[in-house]
Structure 1
Amino acid sequence: MTKNITVTLTLLLLTNISNAQQLTPFTSDGCSRFPNGTPAQQDLWLECCERHDFAYWRGGTYAERLSADEALEACVADLNEPIIASLMYMGVRVGGTPFAPTDFRWGYGWTEYRGYRALSEAERREVARAIDAMDPLESARLLQPSVLKHSATPKEQHTEEQLDSPPQDGPANNQNKP
């Protein structure tokens, strides 16, 4: 009887390990379905988009996504493009949901759908390992200033409950796959 329980527990543990989330290396498609700049300056806000992609690759909570989207808007607005910044903000708020099966959704770096969950300690270590494996100049460019810690004032005040709960654009139980 004890042997059966030991074998069962071992199999469950191995199954759990094999189903663990895997983080793919960071990739960016620039501004996704939006131009990377103006006709005169074709890469004007490309770095803003790449930093935004880095936050989306990592994923996390609804509050972290909102912060990343606001940081993108602020970055582009700082380039004297406030109208473009607003358009991009609206686009990423609609198109970046983790509930759509796109290659630019929130949390796209993870092999499995993860919704708006906070990163576990193991997932944070996985992100840190991926950053360490990157070219140092590339990681410094993506992390300085970091969209993950953007300190811009939010457009409106949100309660913690609002920020940590999924919006109305997807299933209430964010464990479900799209």
Structure 2
Amino acid sequence: MKHMLRFVFLMLLTYPFLSVANAKLKPFSSDGCSSFPDGTIEHKNLWLACCTAHDLAYWQGGTFKQRDQADVDLKECVAKVGEKEIAVLMLAGVRVGGTPFLPTSFRWGYGWPYPKFYGELTEQERMQVESRLAELNTEKNN
């Protein structure tokens, strides 16, 4: 654990030098509920929409507070479809597995090149998010 804390500390110290100034946001993609089922045996996609909305927030990235809200929103969404126990389990999973510090395909800020840690999006980054969201809406309407 001590070595992991040193690693994280060093990453935070060097972060400004590691970041890509003109990073490009990839188009939105979702793997559903990642390594978790998308629903029950009877209703295979019962909470899939909850996971897709959660993925949209994670794809964009942003502050720790925004990530925390995305995780709470996932929990509330899954609870609303009638699965309160599953919602609590999923919240625990995303809190542990969604860290931006690991180069996973489902990390916080996965739409950006790694590393993309917590922080307010720049104006240029927000413009890229808006542009990608407009593309996504156009695809849905066609």
TM-score (norm 2): 0.82
RMSD: 1.5
1:19 Cα deviation from its structure 2 partner: 4.4
Residue in structure 2 matched with residue 80 of structure 1 by the alignment? 82
1:61 Cα deviation from its structure 2 partner: 0.2
Residue in structure 1 matched with residue 22 of structure 2 by the alignment? 20
Residue in structure 1 matched with residue 93 of structure 2 by the alignment? 91
Is 1:35 matched up with 2:37?
Answer: yes
**Partners of 1:57 and 1:110 within 8 A in 2:** yes
| Number of aligned residues | 122
In structure 2, relative to structure 1, the CA distance for the partners of 1:75 and 1:98 (3 Å cut) is: same
1:113 Cα deviation from its structure 2 partner: 1.3
Instruction: Give ranges in structure 1 of 5+ residues lacking alignment.
Output: 1-17, 140-178
Larger radius of gyration: 1
Residue in structure 2 matched with residue 144 of structure 1 by the alignment? none
1:136 Cα deviation from its structure 2 partner: 3.8
Q: Which has a greater percent of helix?
A: 2
In structure 2, relative to structure 1, the CA distance for the partners of 1:51 and 1:138 (3 Å cut) is: farther
Is 1:66 matched up with 2:78?
Answer: no
Residue in structure 2 matched with residue 10 of structure 1 by the alignment? none
Q: Quick one: percent identity of the two aligned structures? A: 50
Output one character per residue of 1:72-129: Cα deviation in whole Å (capped at 9) or x when no partner: 0000000110000000000000000000110000000002311001101110000001
SS of 2:128 mapped into structure 1: helix
Residue in structure 2 matched with residue 51 of structure 1 by the alignment? 53
Instruction: Give ranges in structure 2 of 5+ residues lacking alignment.
Output: 1-19
Q: Distance in 2 between matches of 1:97 and 1:19?
A: 22
**Partners of 2:103 and 2:114 within 8 A in 1:** no
